[in-house]
Amino acid sequence: MEESQAVMEMIKIIAKWDPFQYGEEFYETEAVDVVQAVYDKDRADELAEAIQDIFEASFEQKLPIASCLQAAEKLLLIKESSSCTP
């Protein structure tokens, strides 16, 4: 998977996650911030905390860390698959 494809896939995952049930099209800004965090973090627990912080800053509500961790693991898997291809 190419990096641009990986980024698009990550954005789709974040949209489908829809953590506040506002609709998949509602998280464009947060999705961009989360994708940046994916490339800044290599550990799922650190990424989960970053995701939690991003959404809390936007919505003034704290997401459960377990939910953020599930998303982080999926996103890191995509990142890893994009970096393993020539």
pTM: predicted TM-score of the whole model, two decimal places: 0.91
Q: Where are the domains of the chain?
A: 3-83
SS3 of 29-61: the string is HHHHHHHHHHHHCCCHHHHHHHHHHHHHHHHCC
Helix (H, G, I), strand (E, B) or coil at 28: helix
Burial group, residue 43, by CB count within 10 angstroms (0-12, 13-18, 19+): exposed
Q: pLDDT tens string for the chain (86 positions)? A: 687 899 999 999 999 999 999 999 999 999 999 999 999 999 999 999 999 999 999 999 999 999 999 999 999 999 998 876 45
The pLDDT of residue 2: 81
The pLDDT of residue 84: 60
CATH superfamily for domain 3-83: Apc36109-like domain (1.10.340.20)
Rounded Cα gap, residues 63 and 75, in angstroms: 17
